Structure 1
Amino acid sequence: MSKPLNILLIEDDEIEVMKFNRVLSTLKMSHKIIEANNGEEAIEILKVREIVPDIIVLDLNMPKINGIEFLGILKADEHLKYIPAIILTTSNNHTDVLECYRIGIAGYVIKPLKYEDYVDRIKKMIEYWSSNELITS
């Protein structure tokens, strides 16, 4: 049974944010998107704990605190470390992929050039996590 997710999207590119939101709106589910422009802003959102996200989708290349630095902070927090973090990035750098998995990500998705491929990947990712048994505290 699929359920709506609280998704923390950490992305500094406004066009990418709009694209992600457009794909989710086509899925016809009431997923709640919490947006952060960078890792620093995301940490502030998570500290407030008003809404604890079911999943975190983040870019690697961001100002202030990049994706890898953010993951290190997230996974060091006893209350937040179990939130699945999925990388959504243009970087196919093998070193980045290995480092992210070493830190403890739940997935690594490379943004494809074709919009149709992007829609397909986001749809599959959201469908998986909305039917997965998430750890909630």
Structure 2
Amino acid sequence: QREKLIHELEEERHLRLESEKRLREVTLESERSRAQMRGLQEQFSRMEETVRNLLQSQGSPGQNGEGTVNIMKVYQEKLSEDSRKCKEGMEKIHTPADEDSRSESSSTEEEKEKTKLLLERLKALE
């Protein structure tokens, strides 16, 4: 009986250590993803400023309006693709253990909201 309990205890300890290891891995990946998202947001802000400056330097928007719209469409498609890739990356690291952590899901919702706001800003520039 005692040996059985010791064996079960060792098994539980092993499972706990594995869970802690996985949690550290997921946390690290989450931090990397957040850093990547911040980088993308900074890049987007710089590009947005560049587009704004280009539009101001072009003078009358009627002459180059079509070209500007095309540039904006290409940029929006690239942004959507980057967003999709980031989302796919987040889905790859999503595990059942993450279900327990509500802060992760709220963080993901915050990231979606930020992405939505960035897209709205892009549309406003058009």
TM-score, length-scaled by structure 2:
0.23
TM-score, length-scaled by structure 1:
0.22
